[in-house]
Structure 1
């Protein structure tokens, strides 16, 4: 097997152009229909009248970027099929997100999820969390655009500058003028293209080998089909324990408390529909995850006796899928273009989600508070709608700029992805402290958040042992340009004991450790601070809507007539209580 020549034909470019034009047309359509995006509710929350199906697809597409598609396929090619177990964690943790976290945000009905933190703890907590989210997403946007552009340039001949500009400009255009409605509908269209691009890879392998069974047989001979690793050791990179627990915490940080996903839940009419959208998201996410994972085995079935990385045909594993497409389908007009369109779509869906949500966070958490502070009044709804569109466009420009910046920073590619993971766990811990406990206060929670982020970054950026990939062969390669950096040898696979235990822990536990550190330290610090200051839980003026359903319906604390009372539920649920009728529905205990 010899290296392949790069390049797309005219039909491939036509297909890519059509996809970009359709995405832009959707934005234009929603700009001039309905309410024409004149109100902030329509622009950021789609007027709260979206149906379940597009929201379910958008929940999947928001974080299934081109990096995910390219990365999951190369993961299964290099390390085997074990990663598929992470989909079970998504199923197990979906009810936790649906019935514990989402109801709190639905009661609040705030455009920014970080408004919750101000109501529960204070302004400092809100600002700390929203700044963390903003930095996280800005870095991630640059990587999401640049990484696939780099991989495609090496094999398809698409100039990376052209790829970055086309994705950035088109995405900024339809996100800015069409608002959340355009984002959700384009996510559906782009999700279909993502599936088609992955299915094209599997289809090409089926044409070569004749059946799924044959692909599986070849992968099995290469020791890539074993998924029964139950080793509880935290240093095991992928096992049922790391994938279920680590994948579950990551899932909760994205689908339970992340601004990008919560904003999508709020585009439907009521809580029940939002929960249904999340449940329907799981089979869609599972199907794409399964097909993408199997595409890695499909690619291995073609290169099991000639690894293109070790042979020197490509430079890294991210180029495996594009290389396979050009190698097997490059001679068929349009098929390579369909794949490129799918990769573009994966990036577009992720970036459009980020632009809309970053605009919302900036408006709600930064601009409005500053405007009220200096002007002593709130900005008009018309002004807010116009300025939010400008913010979305501004973040589109920042996205394009970041894509060009990361190419000069080298390690920022892996660094920003690490930040994306390690920040999510501590933020989940901060929201959990607020929703699940009465003990937590602002000072204690911020102490926990700081410790959680520091621990996560320490684990994420510390020196890591070299990864031991499964063996590959080069005996059938032609024009072998041997790449010694990919040889598996004792000199490279250094003994793990030479590294600090914390650095050997699976990367999937970064979020888990950050979550637990925030939770444990935040709760303990809050307890200590209460003992020092003498301020008890009973003296707080809690809003029951800020707690998970089971906690909000058991014990409330209210102040009335300058006296403190604990209200213990007797017959009615907490969401119907008010200060005028609580005596009829609750037993009042005087705490003063």
Structure 2
């Protein structure tokens, strides 16, 4: 058999006929689930069924759906590449999963669940005012537009690697598909498609891992290669915030990033609320935490196997691939390319995983039916926000036909905008860094405004608005400035990569991946690790929001419905803060509100309370 690590520079393996058939069949199954629920299901008659699954989904489907939202093309392609480049320090992100999901389950979930909301942004209107809700939806739209460009770029890389098609051709094809399908099949189809895809991808990754391990002489040999090369490292307590990845960034910075995703992100919140009881929702969150840990382990082991395979012949230095994000696809082709159909199945999973990466805002149900679990549903989310939060704000009596046309046109516009940004995303570095940066610089302001609402009862709508706006400006300045400052610079690896084992490769090994930028090339401000972005954005929002609130006449907590404040926060103050201090800070939540009137307002969908709070 020869040396399994000597892969030379043979890049001729591509999709066969069976692979294309399997690829098409896998996507057809996912689409079929959406068509069934969107067009033929008799159980999806009402808006409640459409958006929330009738609030009677099972714990296991919701858990797998939550897990699928993380097990994306970006996670599949970028985490093994991260381990390949920088070693196992990334596994220290594991504790932040449990901490963030625990906080989400007990501090944030009760608020959304007790209010029985459909959209997380409805809370902001109830707690503050309509302008705050609109601003938050604008922030969400920015995140979706940026993220969708990266989401499409990821599977396009994989598809171009294993099919031999040009990268830009793959990008154009994928966006052509998702712009065409601009309708949803409902939340049930979203989650059941997630279940099918997560099972397929789990199985495929396990097969890749086992076959790779066997080819390389077992995991004992793989571990030895990793140890000898310095790949095994867990703790790095460097306190410098400019250091990209340390134990502190992975424990603290990543905690806030995951909190923004699992605590207040619409995609996750909407899934929680499809369960009939809050206890089941908490169970789903905790099960998801263990699932995330399993996925982390699987991806990290895959990264070590890939390194052992290419430790003597790096595919990037030997020009077999364009970026490290293509490491996993080329590994699949080298390891399982002779198994007809498996590469097609694997890439179909990556493709559908990318098309699944959407955030479900308060969607607008059009009169047509179509694909649910795609980036097109992300486009529909943006279109529905445009309709619900902007168009209807100025034209509240718009008819259904015109609303449908506006939704479709805006979805196409958003799709074209994201398509244009794909070519910028290619210049910004690896999808790992770019996706984490987007989550950080957008997730921070959103987490901050929800924190102001749930934990700072003195914050008024002016404070929430200006805190969010200021935080967004600061984070876009930091995130975009950092991307521009590093544009064109190669990916950085802490470890030495080699081409000494490559056959037919005579050029001297290059160390360009191991070079770091000189300290005087870019501002120190732009060297801050993107893991800290969410924390920075959240803190800026809460600081500015609190100061503005006190300067403009703070909210009186006695005028707030207690359900708008996180229950553990309220319980903590009442149990541990002396009564005379509670009286001085007016902590008697809802003392000025007639309970019966408020219940009637909530039952009738009246947002007068939000308007009252907005005037404070």
- Normalised TM-score (structure 1): 0.84
- 1:523 aligned residue: 546
- Whole-angstrom CA distance in 1 between matches of 2:598 and 2:73: 54
Q: Does 1:17 align with 2:24?
A: yes
Q: Does 1:284 align with 2:305?
A: no
CA contact (8 A) 1:174 1:182 kept: no
Q: Does 1:295 align with 2:299?
A: no
Given the superposition, is the C-alpha separation of residues 47 and 58 from structure 1 closer, same or farther in structure 2, using an over 3 Å criterion? same
Cα deviation for residue 398 of structure 1 reads 4.4
Cα deviation for residue 293 of structure 1 reads 1.6
- 1:367 aligned residue: 388
Cα deviation for residue 576 of structure 1 reads 12
Cα deviation for residue 361 of structure 1 reads 6.7
Identify the match of residue 543 of structure 1 among 561, 567, 570: 561
Match runs of 1:180-191 below 5 Å: 180-191=187-198
CA contact (8 A) 2:460 2:555 kept: no
- 1:445 aligned residue: 464
- 1:430 aligned residue: 449
Cα deviation for residue 252 of structure 1 reads 0.7
Q: Does 1:216 align with 2:223?
A: yes
Q: Does 1:147 align with 2:168?
A: no
Cα deviation for residue 230 of structure 1 reads 2.4
Deviating more after overlay: 31-40 vs 453-462: 31-40
Cα deviation for residue 488 of structure 1 reads 5.1
After superposition, what is the alpha-carbon deviation per residue over 1:428-484, rounded to whole angstroms, capped at 9, x for unaligned? 011101100112122222232233223322332323597343101111111227597
Cα deviation for residue 395 of structure 1 reads 3.7
- Whole-angstrom CA distance in 2 between matches of 1:438 and 1:57: 35
- 2:90 aligned residue: 83
Given the superposition, is the C-alpha separation of residues 439 and 515 from structure 1 closer, same or farther in structure 2, using an over 3 Å criterion? same
Given the superposition, is the C-alpha separation of residues 9 and 576 from structure 1 closer, same or farther in structure 2, using an over 3 Å criterion? farther
Cα deviation for residue 158 of structure 1 reads 4.7
Given the superposition, is the C-alpha separation of residues 63 and 146 from structure 1 closer, same or farther in structure 2, using an over 3 Å criterion? same
- 1:476 aligned residue: 501
Given the superposition, is the C-alpha separation of residues 339 and 59 from structure 1 closer, same or farther in structure 2, using an over 3 Å criterion? same
Identify the match of residue 44 of structure 1 among 33, 48, 51: 51
- 2:64 aligned residue: 57
- 1:508 aligned residue: 531
Q: Secondary structure at the match of 1:118?
A: helix
- Whole-angstrom CA distance in 2 between matches of 1:458 and 1:358: 25
After superposition, what is the alpha-carbon deviation per residue over 1:254-283, rounded to whole angstroms, capped at 9, x for unaligned? 110011111111111122221111111112
CA contact (8 A) 2:124 2:450 kept: yes
**Cα RMSD between the aligned structures?**
3.5
Cα deviation for residue 358 of structure 1 reads 6.1
Cα deviation for residue 542 of structure 1 reads 1.0
After superposition, what is the alpha-carbon deviation per residue over 1:114-160, rounded to whole angstroms, capped at 9, x for unaligned? 11111212111111110110121123123212332133213432565
Q: Does 1:104 align with 2:111?
A: yes
CA contact (8 A) 1:237 1:505 kept: yes
After TM superposition, the runs of 4+ consecutive aligned structure 1 residues lying more than 6 A away are: 169-175, 386-390, 412-416, 572-576
Cα deviation for residue 373 of structure 1 reads 5.4
Cα deviation for residue 214 of structure 1 reads 1.6
- Whole-angstrom CA distance in 2 between matches of 1:36 and 1:290: 39
Given the superposition, is the C-alpha separation of residues 114 and 482 from structure 1 closer, same or farther in structure 2, using an over 3 Å criterion? farther
Identify the match of residue 315 of structure 1 among 308, 322, 328: 322
Given the superposition, is the C-alpha separation of residues 193 and 160 from structure 1 closer, same or farther in structure 2, using an over 3 Å criterion? farther
- 1:560 aligned residue: none
Cα deviation for residue 578 of structure 1 reads 4.3
Deviating more after overlay: 284-293 vs 89-98: 284-293
CA contact (8 A) 1:85 1:243 kept: yes
CA contact (8 A) 1:309 1:486 kept: no
Q: Secondary structure at the match of 1:227?
A: coil
Given the superposition, is the C-alpha separation of residues 199 and 488 from structure 1 closer, same or farther in structure 2, using an over 3 Å criterion? same
Q: Secondary structure at the match of 1:62?
A: helix
Given the superposition, is the C-alpha separation of residues 440 and 333 from structure 1 closer, same or farther in structure 2, using an over 3 Å criterion? same
Cα deviation for residue 568 of structure 1 reads 4.2
- Whole-angstrom CA distance in 2 between matches of 1:574 and 1:85: 48
- 2:279 aligned residue: 272
CA contact (8 A) 2:313 2:502 kept: yes
Aligned length: 558
Q: Secondary structure at the match of 1:90?
A: helix
CA contact (8 A) 2:137 2:385 kept: no
- Whole-angstrom CA distance in 2 between matches of 1:174 and 1:580: 41
Cα deviation for residue 493 of structure 1 reads 2.5
- Whole-angstrom CA distance in 2 between matches of 1:322 and 1:203: 16
Cα deviation for residue 165 of structure 1 reads 7.1
Q: Does 1:406 align with 2:422?
A: yes
- Whole-angstrom CA distance in 2 between matches of 1:260 and 1:311: 40
- Whole-angstrom CA distance in 2 between matches of 1:202 and 1:43: 38
CA contact (8 A) 2:182 2:379 kept: no
Deviating more after overlay: 345-354 vs 519-528: 345-354
